Amino acid sequence: MLQKIDTIKEIRKTIYEWKKLGYTIGFVPTMGYLHDGHKSLIDRAVLENDKVVVSIFLNPTQFSQNEDLDSYPKDIINDTKICEQAGADLIFLPTTNEIYPAGFSTYVTMDKGASEGLCGSSRLGHFNGVCTVVAKLFAVVKPNNAYFGQKDAQQLAVIKQMVRDLNIDINIVGCKIVREADGLAMSSRNSYLNADERVAALSLSKALTHSKNLVDAGLTDVEKIKFEVEKIISQEPLAKIDYVEIVDTIYLKPIKEISSVSMCVIAVFIGKTRLIDNIIFKSVEDSNGNNFT
């Protein structure tokens, strides 16, 4: 039966009992408003662990003042339904005061590496907020495995670097992007799109698919590939490009030529909604044996 816990004290008690019984623990951290992309993470966690925890916490420290913290969508009833359907064992639902109590003043910061550039430039301080909350959740849940979606490619790279840098004994599992039937990457922010914007958003996956076709056909010139991606997106009147980059898959640094595993990462405003997406040009197996294609 699915448990719901909202305090650190209570979840630590449950985790302690599970650990005492020798259970492996899978963890899926989320900000809520779950969809099939989140469900795919929970599904995999259920397959690979004895117990699965899903956290639902809208983390204020990763939002800047002009972002959508107050309007971020919420639906705890549907979230619970998805967790039950996927077979999760526990939902952790802490309040902001539970995670950041009065007097809180310790943060995890990443000044270089995977957090530089891309969304790190567009959303100043964002990844420090991500690292802080994820490190705190890791300390509470103490999972064996933690699951993150490849759609948030830079976030996944940042979490992997944080775990390496701080010697955190948790296996970080990256999971494939889940898309709608028409190709749009699933995202909680898709709910912001009106009908016209929803159609316009397809320019992202269309451009990325085209870029992969070019690479598969033998094109290695990064600037030419980026030009083709930008051209497709720019043909959509409702789209405004934040960035288009081709990067390595470890630190997400720009490369000049396609000569090894790489990926195209994009951020685009569709109307007022900022969407991100990416595609990997060659399959890669990371140090933990997780295959990304």
What band does 284 get if pLDDT is binned at 50, 70 and 90? very low
Model confidence at 290, in pLDDT bands (50, 70, 90)? very low
User: Which tokens go with 262?
Assistant: 């790489």
Q: Which of 153, 175, 197 is the last residue of a domain?
A: 175
pLDDT of residue 58: 97
**What is the domain extent for residue 54?**
3-175
Q: What is the mean pLDDT of residues 178-200?
A: 97
Residues contacting residue 204 through CB under 8 Å, at least 6 positions apart: 184, 185, 233, 266, 268, 275, 277
Q: Is 38 one of the catalytic residues?
A: yes
By CB neighbour count within 10 A (0-12 exposed, 13-18 middle, 19+ buried), where does 283 fall?
exposed
Domain count of the fold of the chain: 2
209 located within any domain? yes
Residue 106 lies in a domain: yes
pLDDT in tens, 251-277: 999 999 998 889 999 999 999 999 999
Give the pLDDT of residue 288. 45
- CA atoms within a 13 Å half-sphere pointing along the CA-CB vector of 272: 7
Contact call for residues 158 and 111 (beta carbons, < 8 A): no
pLDDT-based confidence at 172, cuts 50/70/90? Answer: very high
Q: Is residue 181 part of a domain?
A: no
User: Mean of the pLDDT values across residues 27-50?
Assistant: 98
250: CATH: 3.30.1300.10
For the chain, what is the mean pLDDT? 94
| Residue the block writes with tokens 């720019």 | 234
Same domain, 62 and 201: no
Q: Indicate whether 180 belongs to any domain.
A: no
Q: What is the mean pLDDT of residues 71-97?
A: 97
Among residues 35, 38, 126, 210, which one is catalytic?
A: 38
Residue 282 — very low, low, confident or very high, per pLDDT cuts 50/70/90?
A: confident
Neighbours of 272 (CB within 10 A): 10
Both 120 and 245 in a single domain?
A: no
201-253 tens-digit pLDDT: 999 999 999 999 999 999 999 999 999 999 999 999 999 999 999 999 999 99
Structural contact between residues 90 and 46, judged by C-beta atoms closer than 8 angstroms:
no
Last residue of a domain, one of 146, 175, 204: 175
Residue ending a domain, among 115, 143, 175, is 175
